[in-house]
Amino acid sequence: MNKIQVKDVLKRNIMTIALFAVYILFVVLAGVIRGTNMLDPSVVTSLIEQNAYVFILGTGMLMCMLTGGNIDLSVGSFVCFAGATVGLFSVENDLLNKWFGVWEKQMVDGQLQDVLVTPASPWSTPVVLLTALAIGLAYGALLGWLIAYVRIPPWIATLAGFLSFRGLGTQVLTTASTTNAISNLPSSLTGIFSGTLFPTGYMELNIFCLIVGIIVSAAIVLLNFRERSNKIKKGYQADTMLFVIIKSAIEVAVIMFFTIEFALNGGLPVVVVWIGAILIIYGIITEKTTIGRHFMTIGGNAESARLSGINNKLIMFVAYLNMAILTVIASLIVTSRTGAANSFAGQEYELDAIAACIVGGVSAYGGSGTIIGMVVGATLIGVINQGLSLVGVDQDWIKIVKGLVLLAAVVFEIMSKQGKKKDKEAKDKKAKVKKEQKIAVN
User: How wide is the angle at C-alpha 33 spanned by C-alphas 30 and 36, nearest 5°?
Assistant: 40
Give ∠ CA 320-323-328 in degrees, rounded to 5: 130
- Give 35 or 309: the residue with its C-beta nearer to other proteins: 309
**Other CB atoms within 10 A of residue 109 CB:** 5
Distances, alpha carbon 293 to alpha carbons 48, 71, 315, in Å: 30, 19, 11
Q: Between residues 124 and 312, which has the closer beta carbon with respect to other proteins?
A: 312
- A 10 A CB-CB count for 364 gives 15
CB of 50 to other proteins, least distance (A): 35
What are the residues binding other proteins (CB under 8 A)?
230-231, 234, 236, 288-291, 293, 296-297, 300-301, 303-311, 363, 367-368, 422, 424-433, 435-436, 439-442
Least CB distance from residue 315 to other proteins, whole Å?
12
Task: Output 34 or 417, the one with its CB closest to other proteins.
Answer: 417
CB of 316 to other proteins, least distance (A): 15
Please, which residues have CB within 8 angstroms of residue 17's CB and are 6 or more apart in sequence?
Answer: 10
H helix or E strand, kind and range, residue 102: strand 102-108
Shortest Å distance, C-beta 430 to other proteins:
4
Whichever of 102 and 291 has its CB closer to other proteins, that residue is 291
The smaller minimum CB distance to other proteins, of residues 179 and 304, is found at 304
Nearer to other proteins, 286 or 379 (CB): 286
User: Cβ neighbours of residue 394 under 8 Å, at least 6 residues apart?
Assistant: none
Closest CA to 348 of 57, 139, 44: 57
Beta-carbon contacts of 28 under 8 Å, excluding residues fewer than 6 positions away, are: none
